[in-house]
Amino acid sequence: TQLLEQSPQFLSIQEGENLTVYCNSSSVFSSLQWYRQEPGEGPVLLVTVVTGGEVKKLKRLTFQFGDARKDSSLHITAAQPGDTGLYLCAGEESGGSNYKLTFGKGTLLTVNP
Amino acid sequence: NAGVTQTPKFQVLKTGQSMTLQCAQDMNHNSMYWYRQDPGMGLRLIYYSASEGTTDKGEVPNGYNVSRLNKREFSLRLESAAPSQTSVYFCASTLGKLRNTIYFGEGSWLTVV
């Protein structure tokens, strides 16, 4: 099983600050996804990155896939309390089943007003 | 549009009891999944069904069985519940392969005492 390690595990910041969370592996992934999960709900897909070096922006969120397709980052600019939640990365195994995702353990973000 | 619907939302079982978690999607998706989420462990795949009529084991299948009843429905059965199966269970579906958007249900909280 390919491991995805997320850091930090917990992050508590003030509204308006910037932050970056990381998702790292020693293995290569065909694609990588980022999800946001709120308490009592299922994860919601934010973005899928496929190409090494790819950068995608979703309003104040910027996602980057590493050149070697082993790592990814999520950067949030001017965080807001509504950004609070569990952020999960998930990777599709390179050369593996097209139906299995490996999830990281998540980064729990709290944005204080 | 209901998306992915799971029942029940909450359940308490005694060790050794059996139960079935039901999942239905109304998006005409081909692939369906069952995950469990435990504190500090992230999401782990139990079983998946790439298409109607097929099922395959995921990362943690022991103690579970599944049935892809039709294209809409994918159920998860615990034949003899154990305390280690206390968890939050999520059903998910996608149109086909993983690069399509995956939709998760709201989760089923299961406690085995």
Q: In this predicted model, what pLDDT tens digit does every residue of A8-66 receive, in sequence order?
A: 999 999 999 999 999 999 888 888 999 999 988 999 999 999 999 999 999 999 999 99
Nearest CA in chain B to A91: B98
Query: Is the model's pLDDT at B107 over the cut of 80?
Result: yes
User: Across the interface, do A42 and B4 touch by the CB < 8 Å criterion?
Assistant: yes
The pLDDT, as a whole number, for residue B1 is 55
Quote the tokens at residue B58.
């995921």
The kind and range of the H/E element at B91 are strand B87-94
User: Across the interface, do A101 and B98 touch by the CB < 8 Å criterion?
Assistant: yes
Amino acid found at A74:
L
Distances (CA, A) of A74 to A46, B10, B68: 10, 33, 36
Is there a cis peptide before residue A43, judged by omega within 30 degrees of 0? no
**What value does the mean pLDDT take over residues B26-37?**
94
> Cα(B108)–Cα(A41) distance, rounded to whole angstroms?
10
* Chain A residues lying within 8 Å of B90, measured CB to CB: 42-43
> Cα(B32)–Cα(B23) distance, rounded to whole angstroms?
9
Query: Is the model's pLDDT at B22 over the cut of 60?
Result: yes
**What value does the mean pLDDT take over residues B66-75?**
96
Nearest CA in chain A to B101: A45
User: Across the interface, do A40 and B4 touch by the CB < 8 Å criterion?
Assistant: no
Nearest CA in chain A to B5: A42
CA dihedral sign, ordered A27, A30, A35, A41: negative
